[in-house]
Amino acid sequence: MAQRTGNEQVLQGTLDLLILKTLSIAPMHGWGLTRRIEQLSQDVLRVGQGSIYPALVRIEQRGWIDTEWRTTENGRRAKYYRLTAAGRRALGNEVASWQRFVDAVGLVLAAES
């Protein structure tokens, strides 16, 4: 198994944001989603692969994504997740609130000691 140090566990509560953002790029299946998050974070963020599924169900229940079964490029059936309009709005809110959070943390850290 590939040894990595310094990769970060996804912060509690941020997984939903990452999923929404990644799905806003394109509909994809669960495994694709995990791979994509890792790629986009340049393998810094390690998603516990199994843990995205409970998150996906939660998000789906809020009506932010919907699902459909499609055939992949190599002919397998897979469940694809797609952002809904509500999801897109939610993404905007989530991003804004994340930005506020990061800014706030930044202010704290930038304080003169």
Judged by the rule CB under 8 A, the positions of this chain that interact with another protein are 1-2, 29-32, 35, 48-51, 53-54, 57-58, 61, 69, 76-79
**CB of 83 vs another protein, minimal distance in Å:** 18
Shorter beta-carbon distance to another protein: residue 73 or 112:
73
Beta carbon nearer to another protein, 29 or 94: 29
Nearest residue (CB) to another protein, 21 versus 70: 70
Burial of 95 (0-12, 13-18, 19+ CB in 10 A): middle
Cα–Cα distance for residue pair 10/33, rounded to 1 Å: 14
